[in-house]
Structure 1
Amino acid sequence: MKTITSRDNPLYKELKLLAASSQARRKAGRTLLDGVHLCQGYLQLRGAPLQCIVSEVALANPEVADIVQRCEEARAHVTALPDALYNAVSQVEHGVGLMFLVDTPAREVAGPLAVSAVLLDNLQDPGNVGSILRSAAAAGITQVYCSAGTAFCWSPKVLRAAMGAHFVLEIYENVDLADLVKNATVAVLATSGYAEQRLYDVDLRRPVAWLLGHEGQGVADDLLALATHQVVIPHLGQIESLNVAACAAVCFFEQLRQNQA
């Protein structure tokens, strides 16, 4: 373990930049995982990080000390920061004082869509994107494809909302969804408040791709036209529609229910 005490240290400057800028995270192909839960999940499912960053006060926390020890045993770099320097980097208020610096996977679409997947068309809200990733992972879906206009999946807010789902998913970003849908070998189901076919009337006992759209505008018209089915989730009351993350969860778990029935 080494200690950094200067704000001019190159590593510290990199951490500050990555914490503050989505553009910097995309350009560097790196991001920060903040908190015990995310760091534990990464260690378990992906292995050692590039850097384990810990605040000096957090070293007295048994959970943090255990993670630091595991990182050292894996020969990962461990760096301690004075609390003031650490808090200037962390995006989590009242956090535990632990973060990982990790590479973000850069995946290229290798072939036609042939398994159950999620397609995100221009979703703007990081919390919604993270919630959808978490629901997808919990429902056994393994692939997520994001259009260029969708929130960056490796941003701190998406990571916190997904609660470790990133580490069991294959996430593809900046994808041409129209091309993906055209060549898919599985049915593509687009959610739409104007659809006539109910979700519960569709046979989901097979791989399907779920196409989910912008929070306000929904799935783009050109993509809707390419979908195999347009489906609606029936609901009661005066609310016009469901939140897209809630809609996604209903879809994923209806598919799971049918496959387990």
Structure 2
Amino acid sequence: MKHISSRDNAQFKRLKGLAEDARSRRAEAATLIDGEHLLEAALESDWPLSRLLLQEGMENSPVVRSALAALGKRGLSPEVLVLAPALFKALSPVVTPTGILAEIPLHGPRRETDSTDDVLVLAGVQDAGNLGTLLRTAAAAGCRQAWLDRQCAQAWSPKAMRAGMGAQFRLVIEEGCDLVQRLANCDRQVLATSLADDSVSLYALDLRVPSVWVFGSEGQGVPTDLLALASRKVTIQMPGMIESLNVGAAAAVCLFEQVRQRI
């Protein structure tokens, strides 16, 4: 174990970049995950682990002993860094740090995709928490792919990772996609949520076939160029006096209606 107590330490500065800056994460092709749950999710998905970061005083805690034992069973022996409490808190995305972080590469095991996969498509979802929640919902509903445009928050930011609760390890995520090109050449039905007059009720659709679901930002909704490529525009009937749903809630309703029809 290596101890770090200075903010001027080169490794700490690098880790601070991964914690705070999307450009650093892209340049390094790495990110940080927080807590035992995400560490377990990464290991269960056979995701590589570059190094383990511990808050000083956590070296012999049951959580850390369990994590190191799990890594050992998989033949993994990542570098372990022990940081002074103030430095660890500067890296953690939560108010009350768990005492354990890990650095992982952005690219894990290769996963095959095909034309029978359901796909989550996100356009302009800039809030990392919302984005992580959407990925979590999609993974829970059985989607296998996610296509994100350049205006979306980074799927691998610590905040999005925490909201995703391991979904990033279950999905094949493609960022910076040209969604117009993707949807124009799509061989599955493309469904986009919209309040347009020609939208069809979600509950009138046949969702038993592979589907590509398009959701937009909270304020703007699905862009018009993507709406034009939709097989169907979809609306969720709301008898209450509310104009629209949060994008995360709308996605959950749509995706789990699909699950219900397939049971």
CA distance in 2, matches of 1:201, 1:101: 45
User: Counterparts of 1:128-143 in structure 2 under 5 Å?
Assistant: 128-143=130-145
Identity percentage of aligned residues: 41
Q: Is the 8 A contact 1:115 1:186 kept in 2?
A: no
CA distance in 2, matches of 1:258, 1:77: 47
CA displacement at 1:158 relative to structure 2: 0.8
User: Counterparts of 1:191-210 in structure 2 under 5 Å?
Assistant: 191-194=193-196, 195-210=198-213
- In the alignment, which residue of structure 1 is the partner of 2:94? 92
CA distance in 1, matches of 2:163, 2:195: 25
Which of 228, 231, 240 is residue 225 of structure 1 equivalent to? 228
Secondary structure, aligned partner of 1:31? strand
Q: Is the 8 A contact 2:115 2:187 kept in 1?
A: yes
CA displacement at 1:84 relative to structure 2: 2.2
CA distance in 2, matches of 1:197, 1:89: 46
Do the aligned partners of residues 85 and 69 (structure 1) sit closer, same or farther apart at CA in structure 2, a change above 3 Å counting?
A: farther
Which of 166, 169, 174 is residue 167 of structure 1 equivalent to? 169
Do the aligned partners of residues 217 and 113 (structure 1) sit closer, same or farther apart at CA in structure 2, a change above 3 Å counting?
A: farther
CA displacement at 1:114 relative to structure 2: 4.9
- In the alignment, which residue of structure 1 is the partner of 2:20? 20
CA displacement at 1:43 relative to structure 2: 1.6
Q: Is the 8 A contact 1:127 1:157 kept in 2?
A: yes
CA displacement at 1:201 relative to structure 2: 0.4
Moved more, 53-62 or 198-207: 53-62
Q: Is the 8 A contact 1:190 1:210 kept in 2?
A: yes
Q: Is the 8 A contact 1:48 1:71 kept in 2?
A: no
User: Counterparts of 1:99-110 in structure 2 under 5 Å?
Assistant: 99-105=101-107
- In the alignment, which residue of structure 1 is the partner of 2:241? 238
Is 1:259 the counterpart of 2:262 in the alignment? yes
CA distance in 2, matches of 1:47, 1:151: 22
Aligned letter for 1:80?
V
CA distance in 1, matches of 2:113, 2:46: 24
- In the alignment, which residue of structure 2 is the partner of 1:59? 59
CA displacement at 1:54 relative to structure 2: 0.6
CA displacement at 1:61 relative to structure 2: 2.7
TM-score of the two chains, using structure 2 as the length reference: 0.92
Secondary structure, aligned partner of 1:149? coil
Cα deviations across residues 187-214 of structure 1 (Å, max 9, x unaligned)?
Answer: 0000012243100100001110001111
CA distance in 1, matches of 2:87, 2:127: 29
Q: Is the 8 A contact 2:139 2:167 kept in 1?
A: yes
Cα deviations across residues 90-131 of structure 1 (Å, max 9, x unaligned)?
Answer: 121112111111111299xx9985521011011111121111
Q: Is the 8 A contact 1:53 1:81 kept in 2?
A: yes
Is 1:7 the counterpart of 2:7 in the alignment? yes
- In the alignment, which residue of structure 1 is the partner of 2:251? 248
Cα deviations across residues 155-187 of structure 1 (Å, max 9, x unaligned)?
Answer: 111111111111111000000011111111100
Where does the alignment leave 5 or more consecutive residues of structure 2 unmatched?
none
CA distance in 2, matches of 1:111, 1:38: 24
Aligned length: 259
**RMSD value over aligned CA atoms?**
2.1
Aligned letter for 1:93?
V
Q: Is the 8 A contact 2:199 2:232 kept in 1?
A: no
Moved more, 52-61 or 131-140: 52-61
